[in-house]
């Protein structure tokens, strides 16, 4: 049993031991540059090809459509900026609860003269499909929407959104941020209808420093960085071979166990909710029609989530308040305010996120700690 | 690098220090401390020999002369430094050495006009065959050519070619980098600075160092009401300030218990003043343990509601040592300008709570009364809270984050 209970898998996951083993040779003897022409280089290039095939098989695309990047943010930049700049139409639709990296990219497009519009939400917080249909135009260049929200786990109706696009915005590309979804939901191009997919290794047992922008087929893309021509010229620079090898191994491992893990995590979530019923004023934040069970966002206690988080860490339980990237900025989570939460409530939202290796004992211990903290803080909130 | 011939680039750094401080009896102590601090500043960056000679300090780095000169601009007590070129102490060698020194200095000036230059000889070796002004003239004759962008100008020169003639070797220089002034850190003793993640206290610590005080830091950390990022922020600030003195020790004092006890008194408006009085007591105890002679805070009169003269009096009364407030008369923008120059501003500006909202009173008292503070504190076991916090303090010896 480890010294702490880790319930922050939506921020990052521990490196899976078999992934670390797969990476090990490339951190030691197999140090070749994949562009080098001697056997050491050729073996490194083959290692990249294996990882590319592992990702392509999971997403049902040709291996040549996988562009490895340094992570999700760089992949988002390539997908959003690269596709929009290469398109003739200039209208962009972006999800209301996107991750900061996608929002920042569409904000850049707005500065470049694109007309950027937010996708409408229904009252319950999911995408309003009727309104979305009306927002689509023949001159829509790009629709950017996440597969699974990182703050509360809402699963977007991407299959239906892509069908609406085919009829109303024939030139539009669907860019999907699947950073939270890969390895947990079926993210194949055929299932979700995306044109470009943004994925990251470290959310599914892989290492930090590897991600990919995957295209469903040959598309016009403008490069956003320039150099030696690696990754079809779309991501120049010597490849991070060990991390990419780890990414491939992590994807294969997660895909093989996907159905089993989903059942396991759904049980964990139900068990956690069972425990949390004892909290006065519990409100589960689960907008839309479906949420991924890996993420459970809720508000309950009167105390700020930040204070609860540090009291939990004192008891060895690590959780999160909203998106980890935003805890340093004083601005409130745009995602939580987009789904209609007030400032006071946003400050009280905690997020616990489970992984395949989370046990029922972990959930029980975390729930006990949470009830204990609620008891301790109940006298101090005035 | 030859110590015999004419050097092909700067080979030493000539260090000048403040004259005023030399008048007292403590001149030797002052110089020794400065040499010690110079050695410490260069340690790990440049291997260098440091020598005192006739009211100057000479630093002989093994390479990286420019980097060494720049580093010394952050050693208190130094008035200015010059990268210096060496030549044998003969008139012939000196006049030959002068030209490249000037040429390097020219490179930094705008072109296309005559640059007024003066030559200034300081003859430390009185046995040198020529008097100073004769050497000036001789060097001038040697370096002046018709096609040169140089005019000799005694009154308003833009460039001064300095020549220090010493028996063993002569030093030539045309660049002067200003030092930070002040007094060598440590010569005035040790102080304890109460540091938060804010903009003010790092600047106050720097100003205390400038006046020769070695600064030891105390910060108050209310875990688990705020997170370890707040502690990290203070550590980062201390590490940015660390190059200015030889060693930087930080006490991280757990403060949640004291805050809970003060909050439990139930007098909301006095909370902030009482928190700060508790901090002064704990910092005074740290000072006693560390042989420090004063406290330093970033407080300023009238900047925030709690900084009225009445509140400062209430807070200061809890300290058992003098409280130095170097920023007392600063406007906020003046403090910010210093913080930007120091490199602490960007870190301080990162928004990280240093007090939990649960502890902040809705309406803090503006004109606190000492009797009220003391009456309220009578309901607490003050010595126990102080000792408990001190016993659980974490002591960190921090190194510079950059060079």
- With cut-offs at 50, 70 and 90, classify the pLDDT of residue B3: low
Q: Is B229 on the interface with A (CB under 8 A)?
A: yes
* Bond preceding residue B224 cis, omega within 30 of 0: yes
Share above pLDDT 90 across residues of chain B, in percent, rounded to a whole number:
71
pLDDT at B20: 57
Q: Is A270 on the interface with B (CB under 8 A)?
A: no
Cβ contact, residue pair A314, B223, below 8 Å = yes
Q: Which two tokens stand for residue B363?
A: 């309406």
Tell me the pLDDT tens digit for each residue of A199-249. Answer: 999 999 999 999 999 999 999 999 999 999 999 999 999 999 999 999 999
List Cβ neighbours of B175 (8 Å cut-off, separation of 6 or more): B82, B83, B104, B105, B108
What is the secondary structure of A159-207 as a DSSP string?
HHHHHHHHHH-TT-EEEEE-TTTBTTB---HHHH--SEEEEEGGGTT--
Tell me the pLDDT tens digit for each residue of B28-38. Answer: 889 999 999 99
* Residue limits of CATH 3.90.1150.10 in chain A: 5-13+258-378
Q: Is A331 on the interface with B (CB under 8 A)?
A: no
Share above pLDDT 90 across residues of chain A, in percent, rounded to a whole number:
87
Q: Which of A307, A320, A324, A328 has the highest number of chain B CBs within 10 A, making it the mutation to test binding with B? A: A307
Nearest Cα residue in chain B from A327:
B352
Tell me the pLDDT tens digit for each residue of B259-314. Answer: 999 999 989 999 999 999 999 999 999 999 999 999 999 999 887 777 899 999 99
Q: Count the Cβ atoms, other than its own, within 10 Å of residue B105.
A: 18
Percentage helix, strand, coil, to 5, in chain A? 45, 15, 40
Tell the CATH superfamily of the B189-398 domain. HUPs (3.40.50.620)
Residue with tokens 């007590």: B77
- With cut-offs at 50, 70 and 90, classify the pLDDT of residue A57: very high
Indicate whether this model's pTM tops 0.95: no
Looking at CATH, the fold of the domain delimited by A17-256 is given as: 3.40.640
Tell me the pLDDT tens digit for each residue of B104-123. Answer: 887 777 777 778 889 999 99
Cβ contact, residue pair B353, A311, below 8 Å = no
* Residue limits of CATH 3.40.640.10 in chain A: 17-256
- With cut-offs at 50, 70 and 90, classify the pLDDT of residue B2: very low
Nearest to A349 by CA among A335, A361, A369, A359: A335
B177 phi, psi to nearest 5 deg: -100, 130
Cβ contact, residue pair B358, A309, below 8 Å = no
Tell me the pLDDT tens digit for each residue of B60-106. Answer: 999 899 999 999 999 999 999 999 999 999 999 999 999 889 888 87
Looking at CATH, the fold of the domain delimited by B12-178 is given as: VC0802-like (3.30.2130)
Over 50: is that where the pLDDT of B347 sits?
yes
Which of B225, B229, B263 has its CB closest to that of A307?
Answer: B225
Cβ contact, residue pair A328, B224, below 8 Å = no
List Cβ neighbours of A70 (8 Å cut-off, separation of 6 or more): A209, A210, A211, A240
Q: Which residues of B touch A311 (CB under 8 A)?
A: 224-225
3-state secondary structure of B166: coil
Q: How many helices (H) and strands (E) does chain B have?
A: 13, 15
Tell me the pLDDT tens digit for each residue of B160-183. Answer: 999 999 999 999 999 999 999 999
Q: Is the Cβ–Cβ distance between B140 and B150 less than 8 Å?
A: no
Which of B225, B260, B351 has its CB closest to that of A330?
Answer: B351
Rg, chain A, Cα only: 21
When comparing pLDDT for B284 and B19, which is higher? B284
Helix axes B27-42, B65-72, angle to 10 degrees: 130
When comparing pLDDT for A165 and A333, which is higher? A165
pLDDT at A326: 42
Cβ contact, residue pair B226, A306, below 8 Å = yes
Instruction: Give the side-chain half-sphere CA count within 13 A for A48.
Output: 24
Asked if A325 is an active-site residue, the reply is yes
What is the secondary structure of B359-402 as a DSSP string?
G--SS--SS--HHHHHHHHTTS-HHHHHHHHHHT-EEEEE--S-
Domain ranges of chain B: 12-178, 189-398
pLDDT at B108: 76
- ipTM confidence score: 0.84
Q: How far is A14 from chain B (nearest CA, A)?
A: 21
Q: Is A380 on the interface with B (CB under 8 A)?
A: yes
Tell me the pLDDT tens digit for each residue of A263-284. Answer: 999 999 999 999 999 998 899 9
Which CATH code for domain A5-13+258-378?
3.90.1150.10
- With cut-offs at 50, 70 and 90, classify the pLDDT of residue B5: confident
CA dist B99 and B161 (Å) reads 10
Q: Is the Cβ–Cβ distance between A282 and A347 less than 8 Å?
A: no
The b/e string for A353-377 (b: 16+ C-beta within 10 A; e otherwise) is bbbbebeeebbebbbebbeebbeeb
């Amino acid at each position: 049993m480890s010294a702490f209970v880790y319930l922050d898998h939506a921020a990052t996951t521990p490196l899976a031991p078999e992934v670390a083993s797969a990476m090990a040779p490339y951190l030691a003897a197999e140090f070749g540059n994949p562009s080098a022409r001697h056997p050491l280089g050729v073996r490194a290039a083959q290692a990249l090809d294996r990882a590319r095939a592992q990702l392509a098989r999971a997403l049902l695309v040709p291996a040549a459509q996988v562009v490895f990047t340094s992570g999700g943010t760089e992949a988002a930049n390539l997908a959003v900026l690269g596709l929009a700049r290469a398109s003739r139409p200039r209208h962009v639709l972006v999800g209301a609860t996107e991750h900061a990296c996608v929002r920042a990219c569409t904000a850049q497009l707005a500065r470049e003269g694109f007309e950027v519009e937010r996708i409408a939400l229904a009252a319950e917080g999911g995408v309003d499909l009727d309104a979305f249909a009306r927002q689509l135009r023949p001159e829509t260049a790009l629709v950017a929407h996440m597969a699974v929200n990182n703050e509360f786990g809402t699963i977007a109706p991407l299959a239906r959104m892509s069908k609406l696009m085919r009829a109303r915005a024939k030139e539009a590309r669907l860019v999907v941020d699947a950073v939270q979804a890969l390895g947990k939901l079926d993210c194949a191009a055929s299932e979700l209808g995306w044109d470009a997919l943004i994925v990251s290794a470290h959310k599914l047992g892989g290492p930090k420093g590897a991600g990919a922008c995957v295209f469903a087929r040959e598309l016009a893309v403008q490069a956003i960085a320039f150099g030696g021509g690696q990754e079809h010229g779309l991501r120049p620079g010597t490849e991070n071979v060990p991390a990419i090898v780890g990414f491939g191994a992590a994807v294969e491992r997660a895909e093989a166990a996907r159905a089993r893990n989903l059942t396991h995590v759904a049980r964990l979530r139900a068990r956690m909710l069972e425990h949390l019923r004892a909290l006065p004023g519990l409100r589960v934040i689960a907008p839309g029609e479906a949420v991924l069970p890996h993420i459970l966002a809720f508000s309950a206690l009167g105390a700020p989530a930040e204070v609860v988080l540090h009291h939990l860490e004192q008891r060895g339980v690590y959780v999160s308040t909203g998106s980890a990237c935003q805890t340093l900025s004083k601005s409130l989570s745009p995602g939580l305010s987009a789904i209609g939460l007030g400032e006071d409530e946003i400050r009280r939202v905690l997020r616990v996120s489970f992984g395949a290796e989370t046990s029922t004992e972990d959930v029980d211990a975390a729930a006990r700690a949470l009830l204990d903290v609620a008891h301790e803080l109940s006298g101090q909130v005035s | 690098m030859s110590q015999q011939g004419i050097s092909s680039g700067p080979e030493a750094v000539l260090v000048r220090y403040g004259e005023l401080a030399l008048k007292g009896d403590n001149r030797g102590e002052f110089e020794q401390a400065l040499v010690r601090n110079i050695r410490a500043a260069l340690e790990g960056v440049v291997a260098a020999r440091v020598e005192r000679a006739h009211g100057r300090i000479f630093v002989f780095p093994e390479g990286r002369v420019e980097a060494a000169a720049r580093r010394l601009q952050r050693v208190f007590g130094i008035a200015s430094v010059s990268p210096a070129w060496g030549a044998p102490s003969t008139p012939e060698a000196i006049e030959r050495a002068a030209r490249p020194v000037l040429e390097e200095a020219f490179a930094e000036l705008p072109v296309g006009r005559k640059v007024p230059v003066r030559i200034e000889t300081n003859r430390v070796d009185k046995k040198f065959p020529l008097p100073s002004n004769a050497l000036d003239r001789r060097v001038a004759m040697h370096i002046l050519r018709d096609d040169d962008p140089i005019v000799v100008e005694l009154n308003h020169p833009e460039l001064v070619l300095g020549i220090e003639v010493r028996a063993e070797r002569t030093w030539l220089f045309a660049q002067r980098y200003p030092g930070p002034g002040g007094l060598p850190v440590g010569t005035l003793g040790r102080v304890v600075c109460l540091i938060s993640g804010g903009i003010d206290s790092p600047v106050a610590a720097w100003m205390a160092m400038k006046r020769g005080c070695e600064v030891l830091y105390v910060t108050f950390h209310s875990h688990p009401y705020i997170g370890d990022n707040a502690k990290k922020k203070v550590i980062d600030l201390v590490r940015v300030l660390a190059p200015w003195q030889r060693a930087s020790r930080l006490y991280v004092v757990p403060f949640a218990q004291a805050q809970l006890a003060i909050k439990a008194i139930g007098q909301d408006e006095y909370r902030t003043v009482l928190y700060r009085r508790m901090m002064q007591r704990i910092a005074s105890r740290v000072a006693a343990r560390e042989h420090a002679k004063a406290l330093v805070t970033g407080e300023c009169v009238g900047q925030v509601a709690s900084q009225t003269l009445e509140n400062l009096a209430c807070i200061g009364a809890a300290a058992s040592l003098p409280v130095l407030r170097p920023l007392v008369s600063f406007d906020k923008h003046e403090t910010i300008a210093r913080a930007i120059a120091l490199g602490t501003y960007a870190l301080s500006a990162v928004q990280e709570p240093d007090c939990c909202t649960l502890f902040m009173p809705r309406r803090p008292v503006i004109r606190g009364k000492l009797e009220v503070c003391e009456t309220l504190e009578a309901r607490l076991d003050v010595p126990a809270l102080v000792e408990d916090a001190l016993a659980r303090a974490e002591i960190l010896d921090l190194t510079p984050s950059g060079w």
